[in-house]
Amino acid sequence: MIRLKEEPNSEQEIRRVLHPLVSQWFFSKFKEFSLPQLFGVLEIHSRNNILVSAPTGSTKTLTAFLSILNELIDASKKGILQDKIYCVYISPLKALNNDILKNLIEPLGEMEKINGEELGIRVAVRTGDTSTYEKSKMLHRPPHILITTPESLAIALSSIKFKEHLTNVDWCIIDEIHALAENKRGVHLSLSMERLQRLSQGMCRVGLSATIAPLMEVANFLVGEGRTCKIVDVQFLKKLDLKVISPVPDLIEISYEELNKKMYTILDELIQQHKTTLIFTNTRSGTERVVHHLKTKFPKKYTLIEEGPPTKVSSLIGAHHGSLSKELRLQVENALKNGELKACVSSTSLELGIDIGYIDLVVLLGSPKSVARAMQRQGRSGHKLYDTTKGRIIVLDRDALVECSVLLKDAVEKKIDRIHIPTNCLDVLAQQIFGIAIENSTSIEEIWNLAKKSYCFKNLKRKDFDEIIDYLAGEYTKLEDRYIYAKIWHKEGMIGRKSKMGRLIYMSNIGTIPDETGVKVKVGEQTIGTIDEGFLEKLRRGDIFVLGGDVYEFKFARGMVAQVGAAAGKTPTVPSWWSEMLPLSFDLAMDIQRFRKLMAEKFGHNKTEKEILEFINQYLYVDDLAAKAVYNYFKEQYKMIGIPSENNLIIEQYTDEKGKKFAIFHTLFGRRVNDVLSRALAFAISRSQHKDVEIRVTDNGFYVSAEKKLQVLQAFKLIKPQELEQILQLAIRDSEILRRRFRHCAGRAMMILRSYKGKKKGVGRQQVSSMLLLNAVRRISEDFPILKEAKREVLEDAMDIVNAKKVLEMITENKIAIKEVETLIPSPFAFNIVLEGYTDIMKIDDKQEFLRKMHTLVLAKIGIKG
């Protein structure tokens, strides 16, 4: 059903279907068809579903549009062009939509020029920014190609009049599908696609993707259940020139300042050697920092001063990230396009295919954490088809060196790590069913069948589906209150719109992206910056962190304001970037573990230094300097406690100078898995040994710690794979992450209306409301569908319970052996686990017990009389 297209079509085959006008235009612009075009154009012409996976700048978009433009021009010339939408194009970014519009209008203009008269083909963008006037114009004269976003499509599907134009669509293109498939926007879109397909039965689907895996699953996501799809895989079209760079030969015997200085020197050298460099930093704060440092360290190189009069000062370096205003971002994009910048620093915002002109080098500062993401980022260089992709990853510690070296190996050997596509998201389902009910009175069976066609809901349980219908019909409340809660009516197997307000509520609250504003950080009344809400969640009184280059101590938070005090000179206790930190992909983690295993074997077999260096050199594609650094790192570890690896889990116990006990688990499975394992363990300890424990999680492992010695292994063995989910459900019950995700889910399911009666609720207001809502919902049931979804989201999307379970199974089947060791100081591999990561506390007592405990504590400390 879904299969790879192995052979491209010939140029003749494609020429045969092209209208002479199109053909003439094409070859006036290009010498020949590109590989993606040879594979894709005919399939789209024949209206076959197709997924094209190719790097950015490989003419993917024109591949998709060539057949469609051809069809429209043919119809226009024959005088049979209808007033209907032939093609719906969807991309996740408004900016990309505007690029596409431009890239369609231009060729159409050129073809009209060749033709000598207008062709009458209309292209229009419909997004949240489109004016009412333009929308009503579209209503009367629909564009032949509609360019839109997932959210605007869902709105269009529920608008009575515009919907009429969506009943005979021939093609639907989903661009940048890799950026949608792994989050709830994609889940939402998958249902919109089914709704669109219900209106336009004959529509074919075209998916365009950058590097991604597994292609089979993404294709399945694109077309839904029971439909055919061809896959075109030209992901490795461009030649790769990738390297991992360590700024110094020895990453351990060097101060942070020294290392930083070297890093900027290298970065500057790289920029100066190239025309335009794009730098990715992983975080928004990092982006600002790098721009700032480059400008101050090398003032002459990054600022252009043109002698006057008047003297003109312009920057040769720009920052681009999601917190910047639309205007600022556009400014930087344009400057890049015009070749005015020497370098541009971005967090993740320039990963997608917005047109940014010619880039000849991409530098990644820090690990991109997944092979696919590394490829997507590095793919931004050499924008032309057969250019070489040039990428450099600069690493600043030894774990990153090993991680990025293995990542590079995977990239060179074309091993792409697999993405996780969320499934059975009940909040999204609720929103879409509400949308369908607004469209028309519909039978529940029809909706059930529709939902089951989406890849994301193919395994949906009927019980969950029915509960969502009940939820929407307000059936969780008493009969006399129901009119307040019901969004739909539900009678004799049918559902429909409850009131006129319903449409307005739906339209103004649609979408899946939660509102997340930054938390204001203040010293007294003075605002000094913002931090992520997720970062605030983890902060504890007394924590020291860096913001905008200065050091602060966290005092307390009130709503969306965090009060801090200056703490110059103190050492940060929390890394300020981890809240935005990307988790290490499971596949890449396993590959690093495999490398560890091979290294353990080499040392175990007493291989000489030379032999091992040779092995590293050829296995990892790194230079001698890097190989030596890797060698030293592993040797130290091997000598101290041995090398943990894929079949050898080491639990390292040590006591710090204050007498606090630590049990470090060398579980290199990525943070999403470690989050599950550590919480389950902490829960098991707190239940069986009645102790409070602290946990800290990183990609490479985790630790649990307590004041007294813990029976860690004993507790770890209590966790049975088949009980893991049950344990986690309890373990996350009072966690901050569940509260936050519940707020998001309640927003998506429209239980909290973010926008209502013309008023928008701030995040702070939503937070307070969602706490009240969570308490109330819990009294109905712990399985209330929206709460159930929040738990699923935490366990499956934010964390990775599926792979965590696999790890536990491997342990129970003795495929992973466990070794316990005692150390006086943490072993080399444990350094970052102890220093980095984020912490959480697992508490044992209930709320009343907690109050008594606090009471005893207060009595003891200040001695008041009973």
Mask for 847-866, x = binds another protein (CB under 8 A): xx-xxx-xx-xx--xx-x-x
| Least distance to another protein, CB of residue 249, Å | 40
Q: Please pick, from the candidates 300, 478, 605, 658, the single residue that binds another protein as defined by CB under 8 A.
A: 478
Q: Give yes or no for residue 234 binding another protein (CB under 8 A).
A: no
3-state SS assignment for residue 665: strand
Q: Which stretch binds another protein (CB under 8 A): 18-26, 119-127, 229-237, 757-765?
A: 757-765
Instruction: State which residue, 165 or 741, has the beta carbon closest to another protein.
Output: 741
Biggest CA–CA distance in the chain, Å, is: 98
Which among 627, 712, 594, 724 is positioned nearest to 662, based on CA atoms? 712
Write phi, then psi, for 774 (nearest 5 degrees): -60, -45
Nearer to another protein, 817 or 858 (CB): 858
In the complex, minimum distance from the CB of residue 866 to another protein, in angstroms, rounded to a whole number? 7
Residue 864 CB, shortest distance to another protein, in Å, is: 4
In the complex, minimum distance from the CB of residue 835 to another protein, in angstroms, rounded to a whole number: 19
What gap in Å lies between CA 405 and CA 408, rounded to an integer? 5
Minimum distance of another protein from residue 204's CB (angstroms): 40
Provide the token pair at 10: 């010939």
Measured in whole angstroms, the distance separating CA 469 from the mean position of its chain's CA atoms is 30
Only segment of 274-282, 473-481, 634-642, 677-685 that touches another protein (CB under 8 A):
473-481
Answer for which of 212, 469, 773, 787 binds another protein (CB under 8 A) is: 773
Q: Does 485 bind another protein (CB under 8 A)?
A: yes
**Which is nearer to another protein, 403 or 840 (by Cβ)?**
840
> Does the footprint of another protein cover residue 756 (CB under 8 A)?
yes
With CB under 8 A as the contact rule, the residue among 777, 794, 799, 807 that binds another protein is: 777
Nearest distance in Å: CB 172, another protein: 33
Q: Cα–Cα distances in Å, from 31 out to 7, 196, 224, 248, 664?
A: 21, 37, 37, 46, 60
Q: Which stretch binds another protein (CB under 8 A): 46-54, 412-420, 752-760, 800-808?
A: 752-760
Which token pair is 587?
């596949």
Closest distance of CB 579 from another protein, Å: 15
Beta-carbon contacts of residue 695 (< 8 Å; ≥ 6 apart) = 678, 679, 681, 682, 702, 703, 704, 705, 839, 840, 841, 842
Smallest distance from another protein to CB 844, Å: 10
Cα atoms found within 13 Å of the Cα of residue 383, Cβ hemisphere only: 15
Spatial distance between the Cα atoms of 861 and 221, rounded to a whole number of angstroms? 60
Residues in the chain, how many?
866
With respect to another protein, which residue has the nearer C-beta, 753 or 818?
Answer: 753
| In the complex, minimum distance from the CB of residue 432 to another protein, in angstroms, rounded to a whole number | 18
Pick between residue 476 and residue 831 the one whose CB is nearest to another protein: 476
Residue 757 as a binder of another protein (CB under 8 A): the answer is yes
* Smallest separation (angstroms) from another protein to the CB of 780: 6
Q: Which stretch binds another protein (CB under 8 A): 215-223, 329-337, 715-723, 835-843?
A: 835-843
Q: Which residues contact 264 (CB under 8 A, 6 or more apart)?
A: 293, 294, 297
Candidates 102, 326, 540, 709: give the one binding another protein (CB under 8 A). Answer: 540
- Supply the minimum distance, in Å, between the C-beta of residue 44 and another protein: 44
Residue of the chain from 547, 753, 798, 802 that contacts another protein (CB under 8 A):
753
Given the complex with another protein, which of 252 and 857 has the nearer CB atom? Answer: 857
Minimum distance, C-beta of residue 479 to another protein, in the bound complex (Å): 12
Q: Residue 373 corresponds to which tokens in the numbers above? A: 């993401």
- φ, ψ (nearest 5 deg) of residue 428: -65, -40
Rounded Cα gap, residues 621 and 370, in angstroms: 18
State yes or no: residue 161 binds another protein (CB under 8 A). no
Nearer to another protein, 690 or 847 (CB): 847
- Would you say 734 or 822 has its CB closer to another protein? 734
Residues 6+ apart with CB under 8 A from 107: 25, 29, 69
Alpha-carbon span 469 to 487, nearest angstrom: 10
β-bridge mates for residue 544, sequence order:
553
Q: How far is C-alpha 24 from the geometric centre of its chain's CA atoms? A: 42
Q: Which stretch binds another protein (CB under 8 A): 587-595, 663-671, 708-716, 767-775?
A: 767-775
Residues 253-312 that bind another protein (CB under 8 A): none
Tell me the β-bridge partners of 346: 280, 320
Q: Mention every residue, 6+ apart, whose C-beta is less than 8 A from residue 49.
A: 204, 205, 206, 222, 223, 227, 228, 229, 230
Shortest spacing between CB 485 and another protein, in angstroms: 5
Contact with another protein (CB under 8 A) among 484, 606, 608, 657 = 484
**Residue 843 interacting with another protein (CB under 8 A):** yes
Site for another protein in 686-745 (CB under 8 A): 692, 694, 734, 736
Closer to another protein by Cβ: residue 505 or 715: 505
d(CA 679, CA 681): 5
Structure tokens at 8: 């491209």
Q: Does 160 bind another protein (CB under 8 A)?
A: no
Is 755 in a helix, a strand, or coil? Answer: strand
Report CA-CA distances (Å) from 779 to 203, 727, 737, 775, 792. Answer: 46, 21, 20, 7, 19
Q: Are 439 and 158 in contact (CB under 8 A)?
A: yes
Beta strands in 1-68 (DSSP E): 2-4, 50-53
| Residue 841 interacts with another protein (CB under 8 A): yes or no | yes
**Among 528, 563, 517, which residue's Cα sits nearest to residue 543?**
563
Q: How buried is residue 344: exposed, middle or buried, by Cβ count under 10 Å (0-12/13-18/19+)?
A: buried
> Which one of residues 31, 140, 161, 779 is an interface residue with another protein (CB under 8 A)?
779
| Residue 479 lies near another protein (rule: CB under 8 A) | no
Candidates 625, 776, 825, 835; binder of another protein (CB under 8 A) is 776
Distances (CA, A) of 612 to 254, 606, 779, 792: 25, 10, 61, 45
> Would you give the binding string for another protein spanning residues 496-535, x where CB under 8 A is met?
---------x------------------------------
Minimum Å gap between C-beta 539 and another protein is 10
At 451, which amino acid appears?
Answer: A
Pick the closer one to another protein by CB: 114 or 851: 851
Residue partners of 616: CB distance under 8 A and separation at least 6:
599, 622, 627, 630, 631
Q: Tell me which of 298, 448, 476, 621 binds another protein, using CB under 8 A.
A: 476
Nearer to another protein, 250 or 707 (CB): 707
Q: Chain-centre distance of CA 825, in angstroms?
A: 36
Q: How many chain residues bind another protein (CB under 8 A)?
A: 48
For residues 269 and 251, give the distance between their C-alpha atoms in angstroms, rounded to a whole number.
20
Residues 555-594 that bind another protein (CB under 8 A): 556, 558
Smallest gap from Cβ 17 to another protein, in A, equals 53
Find the binder of another protein among 252, 304, 772, 825 (CB under 8 A): 772
331 dihedral zone (left: phi>0; alpha: psi -120 to 50; beta): alpha
| Site stretch for another protein (CB under 8 A), options 13-21, 70-78, 205-213, 776-784 | 776-784
Which residues contact another protein (rule: CB under 8 A)?
Answer: 476-478, 480-481, 484-485, 505, 538, 540-541, 556, 558, 692, 694, 734, 736, 751-753, 756-757, 759, 761, 769, 772-773, 776-777, 779-780, 839-841, 843, 847-848, 850-852, 854-855, 857-858, 861-862, 864, 866
